Amino acid sequence: MSSLCLQRLQEERKKWRKDHPFGFFAKPTKKADGTMNLQKWEAGIPGKEGTIWHEGVYPLTIEYPDEYPSKPPKLRLPAGFYHPNVYPSGTICLSILNEEQDWRPAITLKQICLGIQDLLDTPNPNSPAQEPAWRAFQKNKAEYERKVALQAKQYAK
Amino acid sequence: MSNIQEVVRLIEALYSPGATVDVNQIQHQLQAIQKSADGFQLANQLLVEPSFGPNVRYFGALTYAVQLHAGTASHEALWGLFRANLVHLARLCGQYTADPRANAPLMLAIKKLMSNLSLIFININESDHPSELAAAVTHWNNPINTFVRLLAMYSQNSMAAGGWTDIDNPELVQLLLQAINCEVGYDELLKFVAAAPATNELALVFTEIVIEDLTKYQSRKHSVTNVHQMVHTHLYISTMALLNINLTLQLSHHAPQSKLGVSDTVFNCTTAWINYITMTRHLASGASMDLSEIFQNLLNVMCQSTEQTDGFHIAEKVLAIFGNVFANDPTVMSFELRQQCEVIFLGISRLANANVDTSRNAWMLQYMNYLVTNELTTELKDLAICIVDYLQISNLDVCNKLFTTVHSNDAAVSQEYIRVLLQMTNFPLLPVQQEFFSVRMVDFWADLADSYANLPNEVLLPNSTQIGIDIFQQVINIYLPKISLENKKKIIEEDEHDESAVHEFDDFRSAVIDLSQSLWSILGNQFLTNILIAGVGSADASQLPDSGKTEGFFQIEAMAYLANSLMTDMTLSQSPWIQQILAKNKFFISNVLLLFQLGIQMEVTNKTTMLLKIDMVRTSTHMIGTLAGHLKNSAQDLSQCIETLFQGLDSCSRNTSPNKELNDKIEVMVIKAISIVCDVCREQLSQQYLDNFINVFSSLLQPESTVSGFTRGRLAKSIGYIIECRVQNGPEEQAKYIVQIMDMIETFIHQSLAAPAEGQFYRKDYVLNLLTCISEFGSAMIHDEDFEHPLLVQNLQQFHEFWTADPFMCRKKLLALIGSIMSNNLYNKDSSVVEVCCLILGKALTLPDEDPHFLRFPMADIMNVVLKYIKVVELGTALPFFIYLLERLVIQYKNDFTPDQFDFLFNELFITYYQNVISRDPDLLQMTVNFVVTLLDRAPRLILTSNSFATFMIPEFMKLLPSNEKFTIVAITKFWTKLINNRKYTQEDLQMARQAILANGQQLVYQTMYGLYHTQRSDLNSYTDLIRGLVAKFPMETKTWLVNALPQICDKPSTHETFVNKLFVTRGSRAAGSVILSWWLECTSLPSY
- A25 vs B contacts (CB less than 8 Å): 510
Q: B312 burial class (0-12, 13-18, 19+ CB within 10 angstroms)? A: buried
pLDDT interval class at B1 (50, 70, 90):
very low
Whether A17 has its CB under 8 Å from any CB of chain B: the answer is yes
Peptide bond into A69 cis (omega under 30): yes
Give the residue from chain B lying closest to A126, CA to CA.
B966
Alpha-carbon distance of B473 to B527, in angstroms, equals 7
- B326 vs A contacts (CB less than 8 Å): none
pTM over 0.95: no
CA Rg value for chain B: 41
pLDDT of residue B14: 84
DSSP symbol at A40: E
pLDDT interval class at B222 (50, 70, 90):
low
- B450/A36 Cβ within 8 A: yes
B905-955 pLDDT tens trace: 999 999 999 999 999 888 889 999 999 999 999 999 999 999 999 999 999
pLDDT interval class at B1030 (50, 70, 90):
very high
Torsion-angle region of B611 (φ positive above 0: left; ψ -120 to 50: alpha; else: beta): alpha
Q: Directed axis angle between helix B485-494 and helix B549-567, to 10°?
A: 120
B190-207 pLDDT tens trace: 888 888 889 999 999 999
In this complex, which of B514, B665, B832 lies closest to A146 when CB atoms are compared? B832
- A143/B832 Cβ within 8 A: yes
Alpha-carbon distance of B378 to B433, in angstroms, equals 9
- B665/A34 Cβ within 8 A: no
Query: Amino acid identity, residue A117?
Result: Q
pLDDT lower than 70: segments of chain A: none
- Answer for the pair B808, B735: CB distance below 8 angstroms, yes or no: yes
Whether B352 has its CB under 8 Å from any CB of chain A: the answer is no
- Answer for the pair B115, B65: CB distance below 8 angstroms, yes or no: yes
| Degrees, nearest 5: CA angle A112-A115-A116 | 90
Close Cβ partners of B809 (under 8 Å, ≥ 6 residues apart): none
- A22 vs B contacts (CB less than 8 Å): 500, 503-504, 506-507
- A150/B453 Cβ within 8 A: no
Q: With H, G, I as helix, E, B as strand and everything else as coil, classify residue B637.
A: helix
Average pLDDT over residues B332-347: 92
Whether B733 has its CB under 8 Å from any CB of chain A: the answer is no
With CA atoms as reference, report the closest residue to B821 among B773, B870, B750. B750
In this complex, which of A14, A139, A146 lies closest to B876 when CB atoms are compared? A139
pLDDT of residue B447: 92
pLDDT interval class at B23 (50, 70, 90):
confident
**Which tops the pLDDT comparison, B964 or B483?**
B483
**Which tops the pLDDT comparison, B503 or B877?**
B503
Distance from CA of A65 to the nearest CA of B (A): 23
- A23 vs B contacts (CB less than 8 Å): 503, 506
Q: With H, G, I as helix, E, B as strand and everything else as coil, classify residue A111.
A: helix
- B510/A17 Cβ within 8 A: no
Distance from CA of B782 to the nearest CA of A (A): 19
Whether B710 has its CB under 8 Å from any CB of chain A: the answer is yes
B560-613 pLDDT tens trace: 999 999 999 888 988 899 989 999 999 999 999 999 999 999 999 999 999 999
Whether B443 has its CB under 8 Å from any CB of chain A: the answer is yes
Mean pLDDT of all residues belonging to chain B: 90
Query: Amino acid identity, residue B935?
Result: L
- A140 vs B contacts (CB less than 8 Å): 831, 877
* Known catalytic residue at A93: yes
Alpha-carbon distance of B745 to B751, in angstroms, equals 10
pLDDT of residue B660: 83
- B669/A34 Cβ within 8 A: no
Give the residue from chain A lying closest to B443, CA to CA.
A17
Mean pLDDT of all residues belonging to chain A: 92
pLDDT of residue B345: 93
pLDDT of residue B162: 67
Give the residue from chain B lying closest to A15, CA to CA.
B327
β-bridge pairing A36-46 and A57-63: antiparallel
pLDDT of residue B755: 83
pLDDT of B1064 strictly over 90: yes
Provide the 10 A C-beta neighbour count for residue A105.
Answer: 11
In this complex, which of B327, B443, B877 lies closest to A139 when CB atoms are compared? B877
- A156/B877 Cβ within 8 A: no
- B503/A22 Cβ within 8 A: yes
pLDDT interval class at B129 (50, 70, 90):
low
pLDDT interval class at B38 (50, 70, 90):
confident
Interface of A with B in 50-109 (CB under 8 A): 55
pLDDT of residue B258: 55
Give the residue from chain B lying closest to A137, CA to CA.
B877
- B668/A138 Cβ within 8 A: no
pLDDT interval class at B1089 (50, 70, 90):
low
- Answer for the pair B1038, B1074: CB distance below 8 angstroms, yes or no: no
- Answer for the pair B982, B936: CB distance below 8 angstroms, yes or no: yes
pLDDT of residue B408: 65
Active-site residue identified among A93, A94, A97, A129: A93
- Answer for the pair B215, B275: CB distance below 8 angstroms, yes or no: yes
Interface of B with A in 1045-1084 (CB under 8 A): none
Distance from CA of B653 to the nearest CA of A (A): 17
B405-448 pLDDT tens trace: 877 667 788 888 899 999 999 999 999 999 999 999 999 999 99
Winning range, highest mean pLDDT, from A86-100, B394-408, B708-722: B708-722
A83-111 pLDDT tens trace: 999 998 999 988 899 887 889 999 999 99
Whether A143 has its CB under 8 Å from any CB of chain B: the answer is yes
Whether B850 has its CB under 8 Å from any CB of chain A: the answer is no
User: DSSP labels for B368-383?
Assistant: HHHHHHTT-HHHHHHH
First-residue to last-residue Cα distance in chain B: 46
Whether A135 has its CB under 8 Å from any CB of chain B: the answer is yes
In this complex, which of A27, A142, A153 lies closest to B668 when CB atoms are compared? A153
Strands (E), A13-104: 25-30, 36-46, 57-63, 74-76
State ipTM: 0.90
| Degrees, nearest 5: CA angle A114-A116-A120 | 120
Alpha-carbon distance of B639 to B621, in angstroms, equals 15
Q: A2 burial class (0-12, 13-18, 19+ CB within 10 angstroms)? A: exposed
B808-843 pLDDT tens trace: 999 999 999 999 999 998 899 998 999 999 999 999
pLDDT interval class at B252 (50, 70, 90):
low
Q: What domains sit in chain A, N to C, each tagged with a CATH number?
A: 3-154 (3.10.110.10)
With CA atoms as reference, report the closest residue to B869 among B877, B880, B878. B878
Q: Among B248-252, B264-268, B1059-1063, which stretch is predicted with the lowest mean pLDDT? A: B248-252
B989-1023 pLDDT tens trace: 999 999 999 999 999 999 999 999 999 888 899 99
Distance from CA of B287 to the nearest CA of A (A): 22
Whether B514 has its CB under 8 Å from any CB of chain A: the answer is yes
In this complex, which of B510, B835, B927 lies closest to A25 when CB atoms are compared? B510
- B708 vs A contacts (CB less than 8 Å): 153
